[in-house]
Amino acid sequence: MKLISIFANHIWSIKYDSDSDDVFTKLLDDWQNVEYLYNFFDYNWNLVIKSDIWKKYTKKDLIMCVREEAKYMQSYFLKLYKNSQTGNRPDFDKLFTSLGAEDAKLYNLYRCKAYGSISKPAILRLYAIQVETNAYVITGGGIKLTKTMNECKYLENEIEHLNQVQKWFKNEGIESKLELKELK
pLDDT in tens, 49-67: 999 999 999 999 999 999 9
Quick one: pLDDT at residue 164?
95
DSSP code per residue over 40-97: HHHHTHHHHHH-TTTTTS-HHHHHHHHHHHHHHHHHHHHHHHHHHHHT-SS-HHHHEE
Q: What average pLDDT does range 2-8 have in this prediction?
A: 89
In whole numbers, what is the pLDDT of the chain averaged over residues?
92
Cα–Cα nearest to 5, from 165, 137, 152: 137
Cα atoms in the Cβ-side hemisphere of radius 13 Å centred on 145: 24
Type of residue found at 161: H
Q: What average pLDDT does range 101-116 have in this prediction?
A: 85
User: How far, in Å, CA of 116 to CA of 113, rounded?
Assistant: 10
Cα–Cα nearest to 142, from 59, 51, 69: 69
Percent of the chain at pLDDT above 70? 99
- In the predicted model, is pLDDT for residue 87 greater than 90? no
- In the predicted model, is pLDDT for residue 182 greater than 90? no
Burial class (CB in 10 A: 0-12, 13-18, 19+), 88: exposed
- In the predicted model, is pLDDT for residue 106 greater than 80? no
Kindly indicate the confidence band of residue 137, based on its pLDDT and cuts at 50, 70 and 90: very high
Question: Of 22-26, 107-111, 152-156, where does mean pLDDT reach its minimum?
Answer: 107-111
Kindly indicate the confidence band of residue 184, based on its pLDDT and cuts at 50, 70 and 90: low
Q: Which residue has the higher pLDDT, 24 or 150?
A: 24
Quick one: pLDDT at residue 162?
96
